[in-house]
Each structure stands twice: as structure tokens, then as C-alpha cells.
């Protein structure tokens, strides 16, 4: 980023985004990606000829730069649960991701447009992402929890649905009809509707509308879904271009295509070639992925993608998955898990994940993690967090979330430093050995 004289008032990137001029369409050159260093190929690299797609770089957006690889905290409804934007910035977050479906439900995309866009609405001085709503095709249709890396054996069905759930979303060629989980109202999402909603929300990076399947769907359905997602992607690109030209005075919004195909190499490569053929600014690596194949899946896709399109891995936050994703081409990562598990007392540390609600910690007055520089660890004890969460005090959720989000932001920062410094393999080996030494989850 450009150096700023500390004695001068900093530029307000929310008020003055790059590439926005009154009466003109957003300037596409305000969004770009540059690579600063690549990982060296190895004998066991998962890309073609042992190539490793991992790299460090910079994504330039109208509201600021993102040094990559980077973790993207999830502010689903224009806020991270239990935290303020100022706290996110303080712990080192560079950007946030909100969900177009949830913001469409409330307060409505017109409110965000009237407010000046997502960043201004939530007082976030930095880049923003929006998910297209494609995830809700799965979560409302099949009823599964918010998970991407899955361990599934045996079951194959095209009518699969989570136990105890009602199917609330129905897919057809044009889009998806669904019942609102808030009030039961019927709504309709299509490629064009999703683009319209996301343009009004105004994030720097948005995703094409896609159909997210599960690993339990049959091969035949996965093939049909990949082709349908491609047709939707073509429509998204056309509508994005139309809206960019029509919405004068707005900063350019980058559009990422999403690659589906479950855990089939040929489908993933085919889908990646389809997305690469379209005029996208970047790519989202999406869909349910069998955990053991996460690195392979990223490598298959990145083999087929232009290098100078940034790659976002959707919904990943297990520590080993982060390393697999980075090594095989992921530039940015988002997941709700660090915040969601924090509210239930699960704490991430360099020595593994453990639960602060354990009875033994009632008398432990040390920090959540020795040496951690987050606000929680430098001000509060395990015993205090144990008390707050047991008492269901909201401040307990805030303090636990601050720590977990800092853990993942710092992890990706250190991974980036290890790539630029040329010691990624050593850092990966040491970090994973320490984190999983005691059989930790996560």
C-alpha cells in the first residue's frame, strides 16, 4: 500500500473509493491482483508436473488493498456477531464478507444502496466481499450446517436432506424459489436478481450465483449442476456488465465466478475451464469438498485458471485445511467457524483447540493463550471467560470471538510471511505438528 504521512489526516476510503467518478461507470482498473512470490515446485506438488499454486500477493480494490494469503472474517448481516468493526480492524483483519441473501432479507439491499454501500453502512474502512446467496440453495434446500470440507462415505441421493429439516429451496433452470426462514414468505433468486442485489449492497468483491451441491448427490446430478452453474455464470457476467455501465458514480465491483464439481477431478477441471473462459475478475473455489481431497481440488482448479485472477476458498477454517488451501493456490479464505465456536467456548491456540468451559479452568487466571497479543489475552483470564460464558453474558462471546478471529488472521499473516521469506514448508510442518500434537480438532 502507499505510504501515508502519519502527521496528515488519512484518506477516508469509505468516502473516496478508488475509481468512482460522478456520472461515470466504475473504473475496472481500480481492481487488480499482483503476485509477489510463488512457492517452489516439489516432487509431491499436487498441480501439473509437481507445480504448487501457492503464492503471496496483493489484491487492489476500490476500498483498499488485501495482502494475501489472508483470512476474511464473516460479517454475515453487515456485522460480525458479538464484535464491532473497530475491534475487527484492531485485531488485524483486512476485509470482511457479508451475505447477500441475509442482507436481502433484512434490512434490504435498497437500504444499503441508500446508505452508500456495505462498507459505509457498517462503518468498515476497508475492502468487503458478498456471498451470492448460492449457499442458501444448499442450506435451505438440503438443510445442512455451514460446512464445506466434509467426510462422507457411501450415501448417494439426489433428494438428500438433513435429518429433521424441511426442504425450503427448489432449483430450476432459471433460478431458485425458496421460503424465507424468517417468515415463510416465498422469494425468488436468479443470476440477474443476485447481481442486482449485490450491486446495491456495493461490496468490492462479489460472487456469481451458483448451485451448491452436497457430496451425497449422485454423479449425474453433479454433472447437471456444473452445467447449470455455468449457464448462470454467463448470465451473471452479462448482468454485471449492464449494471456496472448503468450505475454511474459507483466504484467498480469485482465479480468472481464459482467452480463446482464436488470431489470429481474431471468435473472440477471442466468447471474451472468454463469459468476461466468468462470475463470474471477472480474465482471462488466452492462446493462441498471431501476433506482429504481439499488440496487436490484447489490444485485441479488452479491448474486451469489464469494466474492473475485471485482465488477465494469459500467456507474453510480448519488449520490443516488452511495450509492445504494456501499451498495449492488459495489467496483468501472465509469461514464462520472461529466466531461460532467461540460463542460455545471453543478456543483456538497454537497448541490446539480446547474448551474454556471445562470445570478445571474455573480457577485458571492465565490468558487464553500465552504470548497471544489479542485484546482478550492481554486483559482477561481463562477463569473470567469461563465465568462469562457460563453466565451467558454477551461480553464473553465478544472476548472469545476476538481471540479466535485474531488466531486465524495471525495464522494467515504468518503463512504469508513464510511464503515471502522462503520458509513455508518449515513453518507448515512446525505449526501443524504443534497444533495437532494432542489430537486437537480444527
422 is in an annotated binding site: no
> How many residues can be counted in the chain?
442
286 is in an annotated binding site: no
131 among known catalytic residues? yes
Do β-strands 254-259 and 175-179 pair in parallel, antiparallel, or remain unpaired? unpaired
Which one of 113, 321, 331, 334 is the catalytic residue? 334
50 is in an annotated binding site: no
- Give the number of other Cβ atoms within 10 Å of residue 8's Cβ: 7
196 is in an annotated binding site: no
Q: State the cell numbers at 344.
A: 460455545
Residues linked to residue 190 through DSSP beta bridges, in sequence order: 175
261 is in an annotated binding site: no
State the alpha helices, DSSP H only, in 147-218: 191-201
Distance of CA 77 to the CA centre of its chain: 14
Which one of 65, 131, 204, 303 is the catalytic residue? 131
374 is in an annotated binding site: yes
Q: State the cell numbers at 195.
A: 447481481
95 is in an annotated binding site: no
CA 253/CA 211 separation, integer angstroms: 22
Contact criterion met (CB below 8 Å) for 237 and 285 = no
Contact criterion met (CB below 8 Å) for 46 and 296 = yes
CA 21/CA 26 separation, integer angstroms: 7
**103-107 LR contacts (CB < 8 Å, sep 24+):** 103/77, 103/78, 103/130, 103/197, 103/201, 104/133, 104/187, 104/197, 105/180, 105/182, 106/77, 106/182
49 among known catalytic residues? no
> What is the H or E stretch that residue 162 is in?
none
287 is in an annotated binding site: yes
332 phi, psi to nearest 5 deg:
-135, 150
The contacts of residue 304 (CB under 8 Å, 6+ apart) are: 269, 272, 273, 276
295 is in an annotated binding site: no
Contact criterion met (CB below 8 Å) for 321 and 291 = yes
132 is in an annotated binding site: yes
Three-point CA angle 49, 53, 55, nearest 5°: 140
Q: Which residues carry a binding-site annotation?
A: 131-135, 210, 260, 287, 372, 374, 377, 403
Q: Which residues are catalytic?
A: 131, 334
Q: Which residues carry a binding-site annotation for Zn(2+)?
A: 372, 374, 377, 403
Q: Which residues carry a binding-site annotation for substrate?
A: 131-135, 210, 260, 287
Amino acid at each position: 500500500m502507499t505510504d501515508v504521512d502519519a502527521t496528515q489526516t488519512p484518506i477516508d476510503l469509505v468516502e473516496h473509493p478508488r475509481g468512482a467518478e460522478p456520472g461515470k461507470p466504475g473504473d475496472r482498473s481500480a481492481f487488480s491482483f499482483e503476485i509477489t512470490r510463488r512457492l517452489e515446485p516439489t516432487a509431491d506438488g499436487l498441480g501439473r508436473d509437481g507445480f504448487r499454486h501457492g503464492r503471496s500477493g496483493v489484491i487492489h480494490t476500490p476500498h483498499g488493498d488485501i495482502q494475501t494469503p489472508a483470512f476474511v472474517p464473516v460479517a454475515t448481516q453487515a456485522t460480525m456477531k458479538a464484535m464491532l468493526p473497530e475491534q475487527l480492524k484492531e485485531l488485524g483483519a483486512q476485509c470482511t464478507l457479508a451475505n447477500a441473501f441475509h442482507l436481502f432479507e433484512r434490512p434490504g439491499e435498497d437500504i444499503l444502496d441508500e446508505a452508500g454501500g456495505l462498507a459505509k453502512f457498517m462503518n468498515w474502512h476497508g475492502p468487503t466481499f458478498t456471498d451470492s446467496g448460492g449457499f442458501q440453495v444448499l442450506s435451505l434446500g438440503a438443510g445442512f450446517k455451514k460446512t464445506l470440507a466434509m467426510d462422507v462415505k457411501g450415501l448417494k441421493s439426489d433428494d438428500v436432506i438433513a435429518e429433521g429439516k424441511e426442504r425450503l429451496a427448489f432449483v430450476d433452470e432459471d433460478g431458485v424459489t425458496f421460503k424465507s426462514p424468517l417468515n415463510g414468505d416465498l422469494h425468488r433468486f436468479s443470476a440477474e436478481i443476485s447481481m442486482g442485489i449485490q450491486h446495491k449492497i456495493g461490496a468490492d468483491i462479489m460472487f456469481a450465483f451458483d448451485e451448491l451441491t452436497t457430496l451425497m448427490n449422485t454423479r449425474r446430478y453433479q454433472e447437471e449442476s456444473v452445467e447449470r452453474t455455468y449457464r448462470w455464470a454467463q448470465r451473471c457476467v452479462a448482468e454485471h456488465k449492464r449494471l456496472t455501465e448503468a450505475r454511474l458514480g459507483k466504484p467498480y465491483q469485482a465479480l468472481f465466478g464459482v467452480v463446482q464439481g464436488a470431489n470429481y477431478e474431471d468435473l472440477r477441471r471442466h468447471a474451472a475451464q468454463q469459468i476461466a473462459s468468462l470475463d470474471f475478475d477472480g474465482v471462488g473455489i466452492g462446493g462441498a469438498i471431501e476433506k482429504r481431497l481439499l488440496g487436490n481440488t484447489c490444485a485441479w482448479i488452479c491448474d486451469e485458471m489464469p494466474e492473475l485472477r485471485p482465488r477465494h476458498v469459500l467456507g474453510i477454517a480448519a488449520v490443516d485445511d488452511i495450509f492445504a488451501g494456501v499451498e495449492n493456490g488459495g489467496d483468501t479464505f472465509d469461514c464462520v467457524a472461529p466466531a461460532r465456536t467461540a460463542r460455545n467456548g471453543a478456543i483456538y491456540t497454537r497448541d490446539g483447540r480446547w474448551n474454556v468451559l471445562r470445570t478445571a479452568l474455573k480457577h485458571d487466571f492465565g490468558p487464553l493463550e500465552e504470548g497471544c497479543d489479542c485484546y482478550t489475552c492481554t486483559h482477561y483470564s481463562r477463569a473470567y471467560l469461563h465465568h462469562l460464558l457460563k453466565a451467558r453474558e454477551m461480553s464473553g462471546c465478544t472476548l472469545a470471538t476476538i481471540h479466535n478471529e485474531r488466531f486465524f488472521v495471525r495464522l494467515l499473516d504468518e503463512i504469508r510471511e513464510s511464503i515471502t521469506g522462503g520458509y513455508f514448508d518449515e513453518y507448515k510442518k512446525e505449526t501443524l505438528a504443534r497444533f495437532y500434537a494432542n489430537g486437537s480438532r480444527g
